[in-house]
Structure 1
Amino acid sequence: MPDIREENKDIFFYVLESMQGIVVTDIDGKIIFLNDRYAEILQVDKHEAIGKDVRDVIPGTRMHIVARTGREEMGSLFMLKNGESVLVNRIPVKKNGKIIGVASFSSLSKADEMSTMATIQKISHLSQELNQYKSELNKLRGAKYSLDQIIGNSPNLIKMKELIKKVAQTKSTVLITGETGTGKELVAHAIHQLSTRSHQSFVRLNCAAIPNDLLESELFGYEEGAFTGAKKGGKVGKFELAHGGSLLLDEINQMPKYLQSKLLRVIQEKEVERVGGSKPFDIDVRLIFTTNQNLQDLVHQENFREDLYYRINVMNIEIPPLRERLDDIPLLVEHFIFKINKDLGLNITGIDAKVIKLFQDYHWPGNIRELENTIERAANLALQGTLKLELFEHFLLRREKERSRNRHEVCLETARVNAEKETIIRVLDQTNSNISMAAKLLRINRSVLYEKLKKYDIKIK
C-alpha cells in the first residue's frame, strides 16, 4: 500500500466522516472508529463508544460473526434499537490474508423514503425465502455442512481449508484421514458443497454401521429375486443414488476384503452391476473416503488391498487432531455455545477464562466431539449465564484418569518397543541377517521388516 502524504490524511478522515454510517472494529470486536453521523443515530457518545465491544453499542450486530467466519455480508436490513432501519454491508478487513478487523457501512433511511425501504424489505424477505429454499434443498440432497462450519484459524487448519478448496474443483477420489471426532464427515460435506456437483446428490454410507452380509446390496443394489427376502422390483444401491453427485464411504477401513475387489472394479471401470444382475451400467460418481486408521498398516497386515489403497489415495486430506490446534479452542467454544443455545433453548452467555486455560492444557483424545459434549454437559447444568469452573467437575475427573492412563500406557509402550527390537535383533542373529528368513520367522512381510529396521536403527551385519 502506498504511503499517504501527511497533508492528505485529513481527506481520508473526512471521507469516512462524510459517509452515512460507518463503524470499524478490531478482530476482538472492539470499536476503533465510529463516525459522527452513526454515533448520532445510535444516540451514543462517540468518544465513549471507542474501545467498547460493538455488541454493547449496537445490540444484534453480526460484526463479530463476520470476524470469525471471514465472510462478507452485503445488503442486510438491520433495525436499530430506536426503530431506524439501515441497510448494512459488513466486510472483513484483511492484512496479508489474515483478518484484522471488520468494517460496517450503513445507509440510513428517512421518513420520506418509506417506499424505498418497503422495496428493500421485500427484496430482503424474498432473499431470506430463497436462502431457506436452498437450505431445504441441500438437506434433501444430503450435504448439510460447508467450509465456513470448519471453525478455526490455526495455521494447519488454514492450510487444510485451502487444500479442500483445491480438491473440491477436481473429480479425483479423496481420502480423508484423521482421528475419531476430528470432523472427517464435515470435511466431506464441504468438498461436495464447493464442487461443481453441489446441486446434485450427496450420498453417505458408513461401512462400519452395516452388517457385512448387507453391505454389498446397500452399496450396489440388487435385482428382484436376487436372494431370499429380496424386495419386489429390486433395490437401488448407493452408487445409483449418487449418480452425477458424490458418494461418501465412511470408515472404508471396515469394508470386508471380498467387497474391496468389487469396489476396485467400480473405480477402474466406472460401472456398477447390481447383486443378482447380469448387465453392468455406467455411473458418474465422485468418491470420497474416510478412515480413522492407517491404511498402509492395514495393507502390511494384509487386511486391506494394496491396489485399492493406491486407487483411493489420489488426494489425501489429513485433519489435525485438536491437541495440535489448541489455539482454536476459544473459537470452537464460542461456536458450540451458540449452537447449544439454539438447539436446546438455553441462554449461556460465555465461559470462564480459567476453563479455557484448562481446555488448552488437555490433549483431547476424543477431539472436537469430546469438546462439544463437555460444553453441552456443563450448559445443561447451568441453563444460563457463564459456564464456571465448578460445572466441569466431571471433566476434571476424566482428565485426571486420562493422564494416569497415559502414564501407564507410556510404560507399556516402552516395554513393547524394547521387546520388539530385541526380538528382531535375536532373529537376525539366528538367520545370519537373512531378511527373507527373518521375516518368515517373525511372521511379517519383508517390507514391514525393513521399516522396523529403519525405525529402530538396526544395522544388518
Structure 2
Amino acid sequence: MQKNKDEKLQSILNKALRCMYYAIITDEAGIVVFISKNYQELLNIKEEDFLGKPIQDIIPNSEIPRIIMTRKEDIGHLFTLKNGQTVVCNRIPIIENDILYGVISTATFYNLNEVSILNQQIKELQKENLEYKKKISELSGRSQKPINNIVSDSKSIMIIKDTIERFAKSDLTFLITGETGTGKEVFSNAVHELSNRRNNNFVKINCAAIPKDLLESELFGYEPGSFSGASKEGKIGKFELANQGTILLDEIGEMPLSLQSKLLRVLQEGELERVGGLKTIKIDVRVICCTNQNIEEQVEKGLFRRDLFYRINVVEINIPPLRERPEDIPLLCKYFIEEFNKSHGLEITYIKNDVYALFYQYSWTGNVRELKHVIERACIAAGKGSLQLEHFDFLLSRMYKKNEETRQLLNTSSLNDVTAEIEKEKIIKTLIEAKGNKSNAAKLLGIDRSSLYNKLKKYGIDI
C-alpha cells in the first residue's frame, strides 16, 4: 500500500517538474540533472546535450555556482535569457540537515513596467507599516512599567531595579556608575519615568561632549552680551529648562573644578545665576548624575570636590558589566532582535545555540552597547531566519586581539598555562570556522574526534 502511494507521489512530482516554467536543477557540484521541457525548447537542446554537464557549459552566465558557494537563496532577480528576453528568476539551494544536495532555479515572464510599479507600491506600504509599528511600540511602551525597559533577569540588576522603584518618587539625587556601554542612560530614564516629575522635562547634557569654556553657559545660561559671540537676547541654561523636571548630568566626572562649586550651590540652595547676570533664579530640579569613572579616586587626586561627591552620591547604583552577568545575554539578544525587526523591517527569528557559545567566550568590553551593535549588524546581514555563526565572522578579529590581560598572562604565567590558553583559543577559532561541526574541526586541527572531545571537556568549551 505504502509502495503504491510512494510511486504515485513520485509520478506526480516527475510530471510537475516537467511542467515547471523554465526550471533547471543541478546537484551540489553544479552538474545539470534536469531541465524543464519549455526551457529545453528555448535553449534548443535535448537531454543528451545537458545531462551530467556543468551548468556553465549550458548557460555560461548562470548564477547557480554562486548559490552553491553562498548556500543562500536568490529570490526575484532579473535574468536575461539566450533569446534576449528578461525574466524574474528564483534560485533556491536544496538543503537538508545542513547538507547541500543541489540548486533549483525557476523563471517567470513579467511585464517589467508592472513589476516596477508594484515594487514601488510595496516599498511605500513597507515604509508606512514601519511607521505604524513604531507608533504602536511607543504607545505600548508608555503603558508598560518604565522599569521593564531595563532588560535583565540577573540578580544584581534586579536589586538595582528594586532600588530605583523605592527611591524614584523622592527628590533624592542619583549617582549611576558603570563602565561605558552598560546602559546608564536607560537606568536614568527609568528613574525619571517612575518619579512624580515624569510629565515635565527630562533634560540631558553630556559634560564631556561640550568644551569646558562653554559648559557653564550651557548649564546655567547667560545674559545678553555677557561674552564675545553671545546672543543679544541671552539664553536660558539646561537647569532652567529642566525646572520642575529632571536633569541628567552625564559624564559628571569630566566637569571642571571651576564649575563644581557652582553646581554644588544649585544642589544645596536650589538657585543659580546666569553667566554675566546678577539676578538669582530659583529652580526646582531633580538631578541624576552618570559616570564611568571612579569618582572617589578623582576626589583623592583633587580632581573632584569631596563635598560635591557626597552631595550627588545620595542614592548610588553601580551597573555591573555584561561579562559579570552573562545570563542576560540571551534576553538582551531577543529584545534587540525584536527592536531591529521593527525598525529595519526584518524577519529574524532566533539565534542558534552555537552563537551563544561564542558570545559567552567573548569579553564584551563595550558591554550592552557593543552587544546591540553586533546584533544589529548580524540582523541586517541575515535579513530573515536564524542568526548563525557565519553572520558573526566579524567578531572573530575582536576576540583574538591580544589585550592587556593576555599580555600579562604571557609575562606572569607558567609555560603550561600559556600553552593551554593558546590551545583553547585555537580550538574555539577552528570550531567557529567549521560552523560547530566537531568532525570537521578535528580534521582541521589534525587530531581525532575523541581527542577533540577530551580537550573541549578540559577547557569547558561548549560550542
Offset at residue 324 of structure 1 (A): 1.3
Residue 311 of structure 1 corresponds to 311
How far apart are the structure 2 equivalents of 1:246 and 1:153?
A: 28
- Counterpart of 2:228, as a letter, is T
Q: Which secondary structure state, in structure 2, belongs to the residue aligned with residue 289 of structure 1?
A: strand
Cα distance in 2 for residues equivalent to 1:378 and 1:145: 30
Using the alignment, how far apart are the partners of 1:190 and 1:293 within structure 2? 22
Q: Offset of 1:206 from its aligned partner? A: 0.3
What does residue 225 of structure 1 align with? 225
In 2, distance between residues paired with 1:280 and 1:196? 26
Q: 1:353 to 1:227 in 2, by over 3 A?
A: same
Q: Does 1:242 align with 2:236?
A: no
Match of 1:301 in 2: 301
SS, match of residue 152 in structure 1: coil
Query: Residues 140-179 of structure 1: matches in 2 within 5 Å?
Result: 146-179=146-179
Q: 4+ residue runs of structure 1 moved beyond 6 angstroms?
A: 131-134, 411-414
Deviation at 1:151, TM superposition (A): 0.5
Aligned to 2:369: 369
Structure 1 residue identity aligned to 2:194: L
For the residues of structure 2 that align with 1:305 and 1:134, how far apart are their CA atoms? Answer: 43
* Structure 1 match to 2:116: none
What amino acid maps onto 2:279 in structure 1?
Answer: K
Q: Is residue 145–residue 186 contact of structure 1 (8 Å, CA) maintained in 2? A: no
| Greater CA drift, 352-361 or 211-220 | 352-361
- Number of the residue aligned with 1:37: none
Q: Which residue of 2 aligns with 1:195?
A: 195
Structure 2 residue runs of 5 or longer lacking an equivalent are 1-131, 414-463
Letter in 1 for 2:407: H
Give the 3 Å change call, closer, same or farther, for CA 134–275 of structure 1 in structure 2.
farther
Q: Is the 8 A contact 1:327 1:360 kept in 2?
A: no
Gap regions ≥5 residues in structure 1: 1-128, 415-461
CA gap of 1:275–1:170, structure 2 versus 1, over 3 A, is same
Alpha carbons of 1:253 and 1:166: their partners in 2 closer, same or farther (altered >3 Å)?
same
Tell me which residue corresponds to 2:283. 283
What does the per-residue CA deviation read over 1:359-414, in whole Å, with 9 as the maximum and x for residues that have no partner? 12222111001111111111122111111111111112211115x54211556799
- 1:248: Cα distance to partner? 0.3
- Find the residue that maps to 1:190 and give its secondary structure: helix
Structure 2 Cα separation of the partners of residues 224 and 280 of structure 1 = 16
CA distance in 1, matches of 2:270, 2:344: 45
- Match for residue 384 of structure 1? 384
Q: Cα distance, 1:165 vs. partner?
A: 0.5
Match of 1:356 in 2: 356
1:408 aligns with 2:407: yes
Measured against aligned partners, the alpha-carbon deviations of 1:125-174 in whole angstroms (never above 9, x if no partner) come to xxxx9x969958x99xxxx9932111011111111110110120211111
CA distance in structure 2 between the partners assigned to 1:152 and 1:135 by the alignment: 20
Measured against aligned partners, the alpha-carbon deviations of 1:408-457 in whole angstroms (never above 9, x if no partner) come to 1556799xxxxxxxxxxxxxxxxxxxxxxxxxxxxxxxxxxxxxxxxxxx
Inter-CA distance 336–236: structure 2 relative to 1 (3 Å threshold): same
Q: Distance in 1 between matches of 2:347 and 2:341?
A: 6
Q: Structure 2 vs 1, CA of residues 281 and 156 (structure 1 numbering), >3 Å: closer, same or farther?
A: same
Give the SS at the match of 2:249: strand
Q: CA deviation at 1:343?
A: 1.3
Q: Is structure 2 residue 258 aligned with structure 1 residue 258?
A: yes
CA contact (8 A) 1:249 1:288 kept: yes
Q: Give the deviation of 1:265 after TM superposition.
A: 1.2
Question: How far apart, CA to CA, are the structure 2 residues paired with 1:283 and 1:162?
Answer: 29
Distance 1:315 1:309 in 2: 12
CA distance in 1, matches of 2:345, 2:331: 21
TM-score by length of 2: 0.57
**Structure 2 CA distance, aligned partners of 1:412 and 1:273?**
56
Q: Distance in 2 between matches of 1:134 and 1:339?
A: 9
Cα distance between partner residues in 2 of 1:262 and 1:313: 17
1:267 corresponding residue in structure 2: 267
How far apart are residue 188 of structure 1 and its match? 0.5
**1:348 touches 1:386 (CA, 8 Å); kept in 2?**
yes
How far is the alpha carbon of 1:256 from its aligned partner?
0.7
Shift, 1:331, TM fit: 0.6
String of CA shifts for 1:271-312, please: whole Å, max 9, x gaps.
011001101111100000000010011111111111111111
Larger Rg: 2
Q: Which residue of 1 aligns with 2:24?
A: none
Determine helix, strand or coil for the equivalent of 1:333.
helix
C-alpha distance in 2 between matches for 1:145 and 1:232: 44
Q: Which amino acid aligns with 2:233?
A: G
SS at match of 1:148: helix
Residue equivalent to 1:41: none
Q: Is the 8 A contact 1:146 1:186 kept in 2?
A: no
Q: 1:227 to 1:373 in 2, by over 3 A?
A: same
* Secondary structure of 1:401's aligned partner: coil
Q: Deviations over 1:66-118 (max 9, x none)?
A: xxxxxxxxxxxxxxxxxxxxxxxxxxxxxxxxxxxxxxxxxxxxxxxxxxxxx
Distance 1:412 1:296 in 2: 31
Question: In the alignment, is the contact (CA less than 8 A) between 1:145 and 1:189 conserved in 2?
Answer: no
Corresponding residue SS for 1:222? coil
Task: Return the offset for 1:267.
Answer: 1.1
3-state secondary structure, aligned to 2:228:
coil
CA distance in 1, matches of 2:410, 2:255: 33
Three-state SS of the structure 2 residue aligned to 1:235 is coil
Give 2:301's aligned amino acid: Q
| C-alpha distance in structure 2 between counterparts of 1:411 and 1:264, whole Å | 47
What residue in structure 1 maps to residue 206 of structure 2?
A: 206
Task: Count residues in correspondence.
Answer: 279
Alpha-carbon offset, residue 350 of structure 1: 1.1
Q: 1:413 to 1:373 in 2, by over 3 A?
A: farther
